[in-house]
Chain A
């Protein structure tokens, strides 16, 4: 089982090398096979157990701990538990869907095997981030995704890709370097980089914890992204190719929220308690601002991108409450957003490709021309706005509930404002549907029907949005104990 963790990183890495060096078609197939193998490897990691013994709040199901660079406190320490497992599987799934999608749809300017290779490198970086139990290793993997994602946007993106890609890479590097400083603030004063040992704050002084939390929180806020550090996101999403947007929204942003829970809150709980009100206010501001901006958006992909800002606001609000309910809500919100927004970006890509425009004013009548496409779009939009019974509901509702539970005037107000923001979310998604699916047909869709490959790529996401919505216990069950332990460690 231990080697499964290493294989989970080694297989996509090997697949990336193969994809890069084989000719186009063979490379794409090899890369897709590697992505499928990674998904296959990620599933058996599951273990239905919680060790009641152990002193740390992090008790991984499986662990690998090898020495790498002792001089920098860097150990190759990987592990998986209920907090990271759903995200690991989601990453493997979305990467597989994206790789398979490129097999069907060749993107300009070609070189599909390079695209697959880059997607696999991104997968290695994201999986490594979710699996790392060493702070320095976490940082290294966090950095791995930057340049491949830059290349995906800069080479296969839309008309203004160069600018968007630069903005993405510089902004997120800004976050990463603060992460570097934050990580070593902790490592130098604690003398270890082991997340298992550090969770709960350990021996760190209050001053160190506050400094570390501020640095780490800004770093993760850029990645998540939290308003007002989100401005790279709409450009990157609008310009990125469909598969790039799916990976970006589906799992790359989760590195930020996951890092906030596992690293920032776990390692510097006192800092987290100190900064929680500010984080909560920013999160609610993100919800409201994101929704208002969405109401004014005229472009399909930009609208979905801004909706991510709002949804991530709910996730951050959940984290900011520092309660079991809140962090559970954040985790399920993370997964739900990954599934639903991944689907939405697939759909937006499909619509833009058929109508040759993403402007809402020039779209319309989708329902009549392509009922299936319209139907799935409606499903995804409704799931995203948080209809009970679908995946989006749990994260948003329980973030508000957790905020109410915290009590006090501040958190009650935040809960109320967040709830209003939730209503605004409904408003802009309904506006989106009215514009795109209803109304007179604006232009011909070519082709009107769905390709089999599209159905195959979307079906797992549609299914997951339903299943997670109906059975939230799938995610919450395994995350319950680790989150409980974390909250206990943070409280004490």
Chain B
């Protein structure tokens, strides 16, 4: 049996994969750092443009069996693909100062990871979903460990690798069990109903917990701080934005689209997961002294806020399709706000310490006085993550979550989210205060590469923009 393939639907994926190949060739032929990064950046830009171009046309699908398709290209997938491509572009910009990595391999792996993200948004069955997620994650093992002569880097890579492989195995086992009980892998057909067997429950829990690793939700979070801290800072930025975005999308696709019938089972578990994640993340972040570790723990906590609307929806009494779409769009909106703020925060860290690791928070004393713009950008991002003005983007992100929780009747969860925001502010404000504290000595003004400045500027501009016009994000989600 032959299948016709709609190559146009696959265009963004082709572009992303082509970028990876082109980067490798450029490295081989020109062997110039700047050229390699430029090619990668152009490729990411082309991928974003391709995704938007395809998305603005009709919905397309390919690799179909009679009642479902494995690859779907619609508005949603275009948005996700474009987001991944732009995040990759931003990370490439931030990498301009990262000198202790081999540029060819670095950019190639990043482009490979982007390919996974681009395909992820179009996944129509569990296998494509898991393979795309792994394509997104696999290059990151190497990227985390790529820094030369650094033990922390290797340690981080090994932790990440071991934990992530176990997580993938668990997800795969869950998917296999689902296939065993239902004989289906496509999300659309899974959604029509699952047999009421004990095995179904086990399968759902396995799929969910495997995916929870990817978003670093408690209790599957322990890898994140060590890995973020060991990785080059731009890669930590990628881990906490693109990789987390991948996990969130996988959870949304699997749970909301595919395992809809098993929500009764997954619901309370997800709510508990959300509460634990935000509380543990915030409490541990209070004690951190290293900048990247603090951001890592804060991103654990943020994963809790991201999961909260889904957990809240599933607890709610009237689980209508409308309430579900409210919860899903709250999750997506929060994720978009969060990703922008997070890349801004990491970007500012890179700009304040170009070419170095994140360092101690104490190293940032007075940094906002020597680098007023980068310091202000970092404060804006942190305050946004805390959910306060002037970080209006973050404020509206919290508002979206609390609103959707109350809409779903999960008032207690809304109160938990609200109280966690207070704990969160305690450490964000500590960093902000350090930034504006008196500088210990006349700090040397390190030169910020223009690419880093441009990436940071673009991220901050986006944060300010969605802060004043959050409706743009709400419309998209």
Contacts and interface: CB of A to CB of B under 8 A. Distances in A.
Interface in B404-430: 406-407, 411, 414-415, 418-419, 421-422, 425-426, 429
Interface stretch (A26-34, A166-174, A311-319, A363-371): A166-174
Contacts of A72: 396, 399-400, 403, 470, 474
A173 B422 contact: yes
A350 interface: no
B433 interface: yes
Interface string A123-155: 001000000000010011001101100110011
Given A170-B425, A173-B422, A185 B398 contact: no
Nearest to A147: B388
Contacts of A71: 470-471, 474-475
Query: Interface majority SS on B: helix, strand, loop or mixed?
Result: helix
B390 interface: yes
A409 interface: no
B422 A184 contact: no
Contacts of B475: 71
Contacts of A69: 396, 469-471, 474
A416 interface: no
B395 A143 contact: yes
A188 interface: yes
20 contacts: A69-B396, A69-B469, A69-B470, A72-B399, A72-B470, A125-B389, A140-B389, A144-B389, A147-B429, A154-B433, A162-B433, A166-B426, A170-B425, A173-B422, A181-B414, A184-B399, A184-B414, A185-B406, A185-B411, A187-B403
Given A69-B470, A177-B418, 16 more contacts: A72-B399, A72-B400, A72-B403, A143-B388, A144-B389, A146-B389, A147-B383, A169-B425, A173-B421, A177-B422, A178-B415, A181-B406, A181-B414, A184-B414, A187-B403, A211-B411
Contacts of B403: 72, 184, 187-188
Given A69-B396, A140-B389, A166-B429, A181 B418 contact: yes
Nearest to B412: A181
Contacts, number: 81
B68 to A, nearest CB: 32
A143 B390 CA distance: 9
B429 A169 contact: yes
A162 B415 CA distance: 28
B388 A184 contact: no
Nearest to B403: A184
B419 A177 contact: yes
A170 B402 contact: no
B436 interface: yes
B422 A70 contact: no
A415 interface: no
Interface in A33-70: 68-70
B282 to A, nearest CB: 13
A188 to B, nearest CB: 5
A139 B403 CA distance: 13
Nearest 9 Cβ contacts at the A-B interface: A177-B418, A71-B474, A188-B406, A144-B389, A184-B406, A69-B471, A184-B403, A174-B422, A181-B414
Contacts of B414: 181, 184
A188 B407 contact: yes
A475 interface: no
A77 to B, nearest CB: 16
Given A69-B471, A147-B389, A184-B406, A170 B411 contact: no
B318 to A, nearest CB: 13
A180 interface: yes
Query: Interface majority SS on A: helix, strand, loop or mixed?
Result: helix
Contact of A147 (B390, B426, B474): B390
Interface residues of B, number: 31
A174 B421 CA distance: 8
Most A-side CB within 10 Å, residue of B398, B399, B400, B474: B399
B399 A177 contact: no
B277 to A, nearest CB: 18
Contacts of A184: 399, 402-403, 406, 414
B399 A170 contact: no
A249 B453 CA distance: 42
Interface size class of A (residues with CB under 8 A): 20 to 34
A146 B387 CA distance: 12
Contacts of A139: 399
B388 A146 contact: yes
Contacts of B392: 140
Contacts of B418: 177-178, 180-181
Interface string A268-301: 0000000000000000000000000000000000
Interface in B262-278: none
A69 B471 CA distance: 5
Contact of A180 (B398, B429, B436, B469): B398
A178 B403 CA distance: 13
Contacts of A174: 419, 422
Contacts of B469: 69
A181 B411 contact: yes
B178 to A, nearest CB: 35
A432 to B, nearest CB: 34
A74 to B, nearest CB: 8
Most A-side CB within 10 Å, residue of B389, B419, B469: B389
Interface string B419-461: 1011001100100010010000000000000000000000000
B433 A143 contact: no
Contacts of B383: 147
Contact of A150 (B400, B429, B471): B429
Contacts of B399: 72, 136, 139, 180, 184
A170 B426 contact: yes
A125 B474 CA distance: 25
B411 A173 contact: no
A146 B425 CA distance: 11
A211 B406 CA distance: 12
A185 B409 CA distance: 9
Contacts of B400: 72
Contacts of B471: 68-71
A70 B396 CA distance: 12
Contacts of B421: 173, 177
A69 B392 CA distance: 12
A155 B438 CA distance: 10
Interface string B282-314: 000000000000000000000000000000000
A129 to B, nearest CB: 12
A157 to B, nearest CB: 12
A169 B403 CA distance: 23
A154 to B, nearest CB: 6
Contacts of A211: 411
Contacts of B395: 140, 143
B329 to A, nearest CB: 9
Nearest to A175: B422
A303 B80 CA distance: 58
A333 to B, nearest CB: 29
A271 to B, nearest CB: 15
Contacts of A150: 429
A151 B426 CA distance: 14
Nearest to B470: A69
Most A-side CB within 10 Å, residue of B406, B415, B426: B406
B183 to A, nearest CB: 40
B467 to A, nearest CB: 11
B346 to A, nearest CB: 22
A181 B402 contact: yes
Contact of A173 (B415, B425, B470): B425
A203 B334 CA distance: 30
A259 to B, nearest CB: 17
Contacts of A178: 415, 418
Interface string A340-375: 000000000000000000000000000000000000
B44 to A, nearest CB: 29
Contacts of B398: 180
Nearest to B391: A147
